[in-house]
Amino acid sequence: MLQTVIFIFSTLIFFGCTTDSLKPIKSPELIAAAVAAPSKTLIDTQGTTIQTRFLPPPGFERMQLPANSFGSYLQNLPLKPHGTAVHYYNGDVKLNHEDKIYAAVVKMEIGNENLQQCADAVMRLRAEYLYAQQRYDDIHFNFTNGFDAQFSKWQQGYRVAVSGNKTTWVKKAPADASYPVFRKYLNQVFTYAGTASLSKELHSILLNDLKIGDVLIQGGHPGHAVIVVDMAVNPSTGEKICLLAQSYMPAQEIQILQNPNNNNTQFGAWYAVNDTSSCQIFEWNFTPKDAKRF
């Protein structure tokens, strides 16, 4: 049985995150179940994706999903070489606090503006998957004022005009669904959306029904969000474990989270999940009601 502990996250973004103390917060009322810091035997340093870098612990089997599913997309996210540091949008290196914050870095550009923070990273991954599937009509996110920012509208050449709390579409460009246009759309979303809006868009789920692609999110000012990017199950006991990813403030590369609790277990960066516990990172507290789904 995995040792039950808690969820530890910090404060973050412009509509969702802010920086505070990096000291882990511990509370018996929280639902996170943590396992130990990365075991070297569970890391394939030559692995180039999440599912080839992070090996399931003994007795656990990685969940297999259809090739075109969101979960499979996340499992196959490309990673930078083992040991690479997370970089901020301005090129500065993020400290890893004795390897307790992140275990790997997703190979995905984030631009040179302070935009892609915590909820933005979740929206980025969802949108990138849908764009790759050419499901343009499914790419839409609400701004904090409730405006539905649809990529299907953006690709037709419409752009967002904001006046106070009023937002409207204005025709300004020719129709174009190219990737550079898609990225400009996302930057617009990152500017006006965040945890406060995304938490209202997602659907609440039971924690023991957690799946790859689900989100742990607290909407607010500040708030925070992380996304489940891989899972494994013990077929004998039914125990489930997961890997989490996040961005942070200021804007920075998406990172696979470390398990900060160096206890006497051998589960590496994996986090235990069941009906009474969730998963832990370094700086924030989540509750069961924070589990949500697209």
The tens digit of pLDDT for each residue in 230-262 reads 999 999 999 999 999 999 999 999 999 988 764
Beta pairing partners, 168: 161
Of residues 27 and 62, more confidently modeled: 62
Domain assignment of residue 239, yes or no: yes
3-state secondary structure of 250: coil
Question: Which structural domain, as residue segments, surrounds residue 254?
Answer: 40-293
Work out the pLDDT band at 180, boundaries 50, 70, 90. very high
Domain count of the fold of the chain: 1
Residue 138 has pLDDT above 60, yes or no: yes
Report the C-alpha gap between 209 and 115 in whole angstroms.
Answer: 31
Q: Is residue 217 part of a domain?
A: yes
The CA–CA distances, whole Å, from 180 to 30, 122, 143, 187, 194 equal 42, 19, 21, 11, 22
% pLDDT > 90, the chain:
72
pLDDT of residue 22: 32
- Rounded to two decimals, the pTM is 0.87
Residues 270-283 have pLDDT tens digits of 988 866 565 566 77
Residue 193 counted as domain residue: yes
Q: Give a yes or no: residue 243 inside a domain.
A: yes
Higher local confidence (pLDDT), 168 or 25: 168
Cβ atoms of 234 and 63 within 8 Å: the answer is no
> Residue 148: which of 131, 167, 129 has the closest Cα?
167
Task: Find out whether 243 and 269 touch, Cβ atoms under 8 Å.
Answer: yes
Q: Please name which of 218, 217, 237 lies closest in space to residue 226, comparing C-alpha atoms.
A: 217
Residue 26: pLDDT over 90: no
Inform me whether the pLDDT recorded for 29 exceeds 60: no
* Residue 107 located in a structural domain: yes
Residue 29 lies in a domain: no
User: Is a pLDDT exceeding 50 seen at residue 224?
Assistant: yes
CA dihedral 201, 157, 187, 225 (to 10 degrees): 10
pLDDT (mean) for 107-130: 98
The answer to whether position 7 is within a domain reads no
Q: Is residue 224 part of a domain?
A: yes
Lowest mean pLDDT among 17-31, 53-67, 75-89: 17-31
Burial code (b: 16+ CB inside 10 Å, e: under 16) for 124-136 equals: bbbbbbbbeeeeb
Count of Cβ atoms closer than 10 Å to residue 108 Cβ: 16
